Amino acid sequence: MYIAEPEVRAVLAYEALIPAIRQALIDFSAGRPENDVGNEAANQVVQPPRTILRAGNAEGEKNGWFAVMPVIAGDVMGVKIVTFFPGNAELGLPTHMAVIELLSRATGEPLAVIDGRLITEMRTAAVSAVALDALAPQEARSLGILGSGVQARAHIQALRLARPSLEEIRIWSRTPAHAERLAAECGGGAVAAEKAAAADVVLTATSSPTPVLEGRWLAPHAVVLAVGAVGAALRELDDEAMLTSSVIADSRAALKRESGDVVLSGAPIYAEIGQVLAGRIPAPAGKRVVFKSVGLAIEDLVAARLVWASRKPG
């Protein structure tokens, strides 16, 4: 069974995806080493670090990468093959493309091959929505966004669903026309980076290799959702933003390998979001919070399983 993107779009909804992602993050952080590939307990997530290769198609920022992300959880196994080619934006192509193979854990039987571009987009936003609900105060009213691409759009939908109180949306982009277009679409406003960063909740969703968010702009109570700049030499947040905040990870081990925001600043990691969700570690109190997400295979697996289950006969 091959499931193309239009079919994924027709059946995958944030209303089902967000709670599934929440449980997946709890399961992921449930007291086992992330790279313990010998652990075969049915109720635990088995996920090694992803393998990333450079494509060598271009120099500098346009050099793409190719990653393989296997995982086992529950009654299924899966592997996502994902590419990121920054130069595709100039060609009118998606910068991220992916395919996910879903298999039966009981027999190894292939169940479905699913286009993964939209799944990657939606699961990333769903993870941020889960983190927002766990970390942001109920009185949060403003959302500042640095970036105006696919992830910015997806996050507006997911974050508004998780927290309807986010009434004011401020958008900044390195291309002002893009910020103005997205602001018109969502009923927000195109603003300077400093004003976007002064919001209650701040999303960074850019491909910038150098910081676009400065800590001096942030409110003392801010919750930052940082989803861009994946790579040990890339970063969206400066040292002040990282070192004056409690850092929450989707995966502690993954951030130490793949997040320049953590690696280059030397910021300590307070907890994984799954530990906070499960009540094993309390959410930080009285301090600014940065939630850094680099993306996990378990997130893709649960999303792919939702899609497959919606199409499964009977």
pLDDT in tens, 118-138: 999 999 999 999 999 999 999
Task: Please indicate, yes or no, if residue 258 is contained in any of the structural domains.
Answer: yes
Q: In what order do the strands lie in the sheet with 223-226?
A: 189-190, 168-172, 142-146, 201-204, 223-226, 289-292, 246-249, 269-272
pLDDT beyond 90 at 236: yes
Task: Please indicate, yes or no, if residue 67 is contained in any of the structural domains.
Answer: yes
Mean pLDDT of 151-158: 97
Task: Please indicate, yes or no, if residue 204 is contained in any of the structural domains.
Answer: yes
Q: What is the DSSP string of 296-312?
A: -HHHHHHHHHHHHHHHS
Mean pLDDT of 13-17: 97
Task: Please indicate, yes or no, if residue 76 is contained in any of the structural domains.
Answer: yes
> What is the token pair recorded at 93?
């192509």
Number of domains in the chain: 2
DSSP state, residue 250: S
Q: Does one domain contain both 52 and 143?
A: no
Q: Does one domain contain both 12 and 108?
A: yes
Q: Does one domain contain both 88 and 54?
A: yes
The CATH number that applies at residue 287 is: 3.40.50.720
Q: Does one domain contain both 198 and 247?
A: yes
Q: Does one domain contain both 27 and 100?
A: yes
Q: Does one domain contain both 178 and 231?
A: yes
The CATH number that applies at residue 306 is: 3.30.1780.10
Task: Please indicate, yes or no, if residue 129 is contained in any of the structural domains.
Answer: no
Please name which of 277, 271, 239, 243 lies closest in space to residue 255, comparing C-alpha atoms. 271
Task: Please indicate, yes or no, if residue 128 is contained in any of the structural domains.
Answer: no
**Number of CB atoms found within 10 A of residue 181's CB:** 14
Q: Does one domain contain both 90 and 182?
A: no
Per-residue pLDDT reduced to its tens digit, 82-103: 999 988 988 999 989 999 999 9
Its domain, for residue 287, covers 136-296
Q: Kindly report the pTM of this predicted structure.
A: 0.93
pLDDT at 44: 84
Chain centroid to Cα 124, Å, comes to: 3
Identify whether the C-beta of residue 96 lies closer than 8 Å to the C-beta of residue 83. yes
Q: Does one domain contain both 281 and 306?
A: no
pLDDT beyond 50 at 33: no
Task: Please indicate, yes or no, if residue 103 is contained in any of the structural domains.
Answer: yes
Q: Does one domain contain both 282 and 198?
A: yes
Q: Does one domain contain both 184 and 287?
A: yes
Q: Does one domain contain both 291 and 306?
A: no
Task: Please indicate, yes or no, if residue 125 is contained in any of the structural domains.
Answer: no
SS3 225: strand
Q: Does one domain contain both 110 and 249?
A: no
